[in-house]
């Protein structure tokens, strides 16, 4: 599990096919010392397992299913990626609960300076947009964000300069694809409603419709 607080960026050094999947070799600089083989690491918001370690380079194997669901299939040598180690039991949750299980791909439709901040707009498929809410949480390429607004089929994000500068966002352009993971709480809420456990009797039991 992760929190969506990117620790640093890494650079793709090499990509090779491994059967129908791929192996990513990433230069993570000093962070390599803090990651052991077998550790879970979020790479652009995708939970991967470190399988090899050499000098400043870490290798990760990516399954065909993960390639089909994420932007990792579009990566090339030289690309910059966001990196976050998995949470420890005593770590603070400074962002929100991020599982590293990407739900779909979004497209950047807006990215520009706005006063002291940056404004990010991302097109999101209707299947994912239903989980979004103003002031709710979303992970974009592994970065924990608060949704500022929903306009049509896009979510709007206010990005602070610190986040813009330490993540891959500073190298993004209009039209670039990004990984989207919706808030896990929204999924559980949907599941709860699908089971039809919230009805008039439920609401009355907990005092929501008294006096009506």
* 76 domain-assigned: yes
| Tally of domains in the chain | 2
Q: What pLDDT does 33 receive?
A: 84
* 33 domain-assigned: yes
Q: What pLDDT does 188 receive?
A: 79
Q: What pLDDT does 41 receive?
A: 97
* 212 domain-assigned: no
Question: Both tokens of residue 178?
Answer: 């990004």
Q: Taking the chain (212 residues) in consecutive chunks of 10 residues, what is each chunk's mean pLDDT?
A: 94 96 93 91 98 93 97 97 90 88 97 95 95 94 97 96 96 98 86 67 64 48
* 199 domain-assigned: no
Same domain for 109 and 55: no
* 208 domain-assigned: no
Q: Any residues with CB less than 8 A from the CB of 103 and at least 6 apart, and which?
A: 128, 131, 180, 181, 182
Q: What pLDDT does 212 receive?
A: 47
* 94 domain-assigned: no
Same domain for 185 and 127: yes
């Amino acid at each position: 599990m992760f929190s969506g607080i990117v620790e640093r960026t890494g650079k793709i050094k090499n990509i090779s096919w491994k059967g129908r999947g791929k192996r990513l070799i990433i230069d993570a600089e000093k962070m390599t010392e803090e990651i052991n083989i077998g550790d879970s690491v979020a790479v652009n918001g995708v939970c991967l397992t470190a399988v090899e370690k050499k000098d400043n380079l870490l290798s990760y194997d990516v399954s065909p299913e993960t390639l089909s669901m994420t932007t990792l299939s579009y990566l090339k040598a030289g690309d910059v990626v966001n990196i976050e180690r998995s949470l420890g039991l005593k770590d603070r949750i400074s962002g929100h609960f991020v599982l590293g299980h990407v739900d779909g791909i979004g497209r950047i439709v807006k990215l520009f300076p706005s006063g002291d901040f940056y404004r990010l707009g991302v097109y999101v498929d209707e299947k994912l947009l239903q989980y979004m809410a103003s002031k709710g949480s979303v992970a974009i390429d592994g970065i924990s964000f608060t949704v500022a607004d929903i306009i049509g089929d896009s979510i709007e994000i206010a990005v602070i300069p610190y986040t813009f500068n330490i993540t891959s966002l500073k190298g993004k352009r209009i039209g670039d694809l990004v990984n989207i993971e919706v808030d896990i709480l929204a999924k559980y809420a949907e599941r709860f409603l699908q089971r039809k456990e919230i009805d008039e009797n439920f609401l009355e039991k907990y005092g929501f419709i008294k006096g009506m």
